[in-house]
Structure 1
Amino acid sequence: MPTDDEVVETAAQAAENVVFSRFDASEVEDLDVTVSFEDDLLEVDVYLNAPDARRDEERVADDAALAARSAVDDLFEE
């Protein structure tokens, strides 16, 4: 069973990986990934500001949050 810290770290890393796989670091003005895991409840919030990028920031932020949840699911399946 993973620790709470492992869950939070896994989720945050997965979210950041999605963002930086779609945007160059120079395009991202602000990225805030907030993850909490309490009482077996995972909450992931991704705020992304990349105003000069061609991709939809909101969609990428949503995809990043989904990837974070999926990574945690995989962690618990190990």
Structure 2
Amino acid sequence: MEPTDEEVVETAAEAAEGYVLSELATSDVDDLDVTVTFEDGVLDVEVYVNAPDADADVEQVADDAALVAGQAVDDLFAE
């Protein structure tokens, strides 16, 4: 059975948020916003992270989080 649009969005959002919080200290993250849409089979994930005190490349972490979200959705459809 194919996942619902809601399941796809939840899976992507949880994966992206989980990745960001695994890469950056929660105390360094001032703001984290994950926006996910899934319409007509097209997944769009936008990740915004404001973590000025983080040692990591925050922009790269945000980009990678979007990729992780896409992979999580691919895995969901493969189940």
**Same fold by TM-score, threshold 0.5 exceeded?**
yes
Give the aligned CA root-mean-square deviation in angstroms.
Answer: 0.4
Cα offset, 1:25, TM superposition: 1.1
Once the two structures are aligned, what percentage of the paired residues are identical? 67
Following TM superposition, the consecutive aligned residue runs of length 4 or more in structure 1 with deviations greater than 6 angstroms are none
Output one character per residue of 1:10-53: Cα deviation in whole Å (capped at 9) or x when no partner. 00000011100011111000111000000000000000010001
Aligned to 1:63: 64
Note the 1:1-40 alignment, pairs <5 A.
Answer: 1-40=2-41
Count of residues in Structure 1 that have an aligned counterpart in Structure 2:
78
Calculate the TM-score normalised by the size of structure 1: 0.98
Q: Identify unmatched segments of 5+ residues in structure 1.
A: none
Q: Bigger shift: 68-77 or 16-25?
A: 16-25
The letter for the 1-side match of 2:36 is: V
Give, in whole Å, the separation in 1 of the partners of 2:63 and 2:24. 14
